[in-house]
Amino acid sequence: MATIGTFSKTENGFTGAVKTLTLNVKAKLIPAEGESERGPDFRIFAGATEFGAGWKKTARETGREYISVKLDDPSFPAPIYATLIEAEDGQGYVLIWSRRSSD
């Protein structure tokens, strides 16, 4: 599990940064408007470029709310799936990525 971003909540979404081995950008999660029922709750932008989406979720075991994120960029071999959650210290939000094992 690795932290690949840090964010702050704003009036209408989140602002922060995403840093990976190939990406280092300021990013915004902006509420998606007029989307279908299964569509994302957020669109993710770096400047004017959309490079991801997010869906509001609630953890079954803890009831904790989070945002399930999918990021994609031409420099990635495949899309990145991550989770935006409130930091344990309550100071902002962290974007956490973990590779799922193929057991």
Asked if 80 and 70 count as a contact pair (C-beta separation under 8 A), the reply is: yes
Mean pLDDT for 48-64 is: 94
- pLDDT tens for each residue of 65-81: 999 999 998 888 889 99
Q: Within a domain: residue 102? A: no
Q: Within a domain: residue 57? A: yes
pTM score of the predicted model: 0.89
- pLDDT tens for each residue of 23-50: 899 999 999 987 677 889 999 999 999 9
- pLDDT tens for each residue of 84-95: 999 989 899 999
From the centroid of its chain, how far is CA 75?
17
Split into its structural domains, the chain has a count of: 1
Of the pLDDT bands very low, low, confident and very high (cuts 50, 70, 90), residue 102 is very low
Give a three-class secondary structure readout of 11-75.
Answer: CCEEEEEEECCCCEEEEEEEECCCCCCCCCCEEEEECCEEEEEEEEEECCCCCCEEEEEEECCCC
Q: Within a domain: residue 103? A: no
Go through 20-47 and write b for each residue having 16 or more CB atoms within 10 A of its CB, e for each that does not. beebebebbbbebeeeeeeebbbbbbbe
Confidence (pLDDT) at 101: 43
Confidence (pLDDT) at 100: 59
Provide the residue range defining the domain that includes 12.
Answer: 2-97
Q: Within a domain: residue 20? A: yes
Confidence (pLDDT) at 49: 94
Neighbours of 62 (CB within 10 A): 8
